[in-house]
Amino acid sequence: MSDAVQRRVLVTGTSGLLGRAVAQLLHDRGFFVRTLQRRAVESPWESVQGSVVDPDVTARAVAGMDAVVHLAAKVSFTGAWEDFVTTNIVGTRQLLTAAQHEGLRDFVFVSSPSVAHFGSSIVGAPAGTANPALARGSYARSKAAAEEIALAEDSPEFRVTAIRPHVVWGPGDTQLVERVVERARAGRLPLLDGGRALIDTTYVDNAAEAIVRGLERMDYAHGQALVVTNGEPRPVGELIAGICAAAGVQAPGYSVPGWLARGAGSLIEKAWLAAGSRGWVHDEPPMTRFLAEQLSTAHWFDQRYTQAVLDWTPAVSLDEGLALLAQYYRR
C-alpha cells in the first residue's frame, strides 16, 4: 500500500505462530516492523527482547513507532491466576501507557472470543461484550479485563480496536494442532458428546490478514471488538479428524459425555495445580473445565459485520488449510 512505507509498527508476541504471521505480513506489505518478545528470534526485522511488564523495555520498543499490534499473552488452559494477571492485564496496561506517552496513534489489541463465552452455546452470534466476571477460566477472564482496559483508552487521538481471532491453527501450531496430534497418537483424546458441537476456527493466514486489516481500517474499527473466523462452522469431531488425517495419526474413536468431562476437568485441574504440573504434556493437564466446555458447546459467529468493517474475507478455506497442514507434515 502506498502509505505503508511511512508506517512503523511494533508487534508483540512474535515467538508465537500468529504473531510471526502478522509481523511477516506487515513486513511483506512494506511496513517498518519492530518486534517485542521474551526470547531472541531470527527475523528480517528489528527486534527488542524483554517483557511487556518492564517499563524500560516497553519504552524502547515503542520509541519512534506509529502503531502497536499487541499479541503477547499467557495462553494456557490452566495455571496460577497471578501469572495471567501479570502478563495479560499488567502487561497490556504497561504497553498502552508506553504507547500513549510516545504519542502513537493506533493500538490493535489481539483478544479472544472466550472473553464473551460464558459456558453456554454461541450460535451465529455477534462478538458480544467482554465480561471478566463471567468469562470461563483464568486466560479468558484476564483477556476480558485487558480488553476492557484497552478499549477504554480509545479516542480520536489514540485509536484502539480489539480483534478476536477464534481458535487459530495452521502449520507449525503448538497451541491446538500439536496438542491434538500428540494426544490422539497417545490415545488420550476423547470426543465429548460424540464431537457434535459446531464450532468456528480460523486458519492462521486469515487471522493475520484480519489483524492487519484492523490496523489499516482503524478509521472504521476503532472503539470496537470484532470476532474473526473462517466462517465455516463444523462439528468439532470433524475438525479433529481432519487435523489427525493431515498428521497421519488415528482420529479419536471414543466419546465421553460432556457433563462428565466438565466435572472431571474441574477435579483434574485442581489435582494438577496441587501437584505442581509434574509429568503432564506441555505442563498442562489432559482436561480442564474450560477445555471441556469448549469441546462440548457450540461456538460460531456471524461474520457479516466483521467482514464489512474490515473489508475482508478469508482467503484460505478450512479444506485448503488442512491440505496445507498435510503438506507440512509430509515435509
Which of helix, strand or coil describes residue 10?
Answer: strand
The identity of residue 296, as a single letter, is: S
Q: 88, 96 in Cβ contact below 8 A?
A: no
Separation CA 194–CA 182 (nearest Å) = 20
Active-site residue, from 139, 203, 254, 328 = 139
DSSP secondary-structure letter at 325?
A: H
Whose CA is closest to 200, among 164, 148, 155? 164
C-alpha cell at 33: 516492523
DSSP 32-61: EEEEEESS----SSEEEES-TT-HHHHHHH
HSE at residue 68, side-chain half, CA atoms within 13 A, is 37
Cβ(84)–Cβ(138) below 8 Å: yes
Pairing status of strand 234-235 against strand 198-199: antiparallel
Q: Tell me the three state secondary structure of residue 69.
A: strand
Render 161-218 in DSSP notation, one character per residue: EEEEE-SEE-TT-TTTHHHHHHHHHTT--PEEGGG--EE--EEHHHHHHHHHHHHHTH
- Is 254 a residue of the active site? no
CA distance 41 to 43: 6
Residues annotated as catalytic (active site), given as ranges: 139
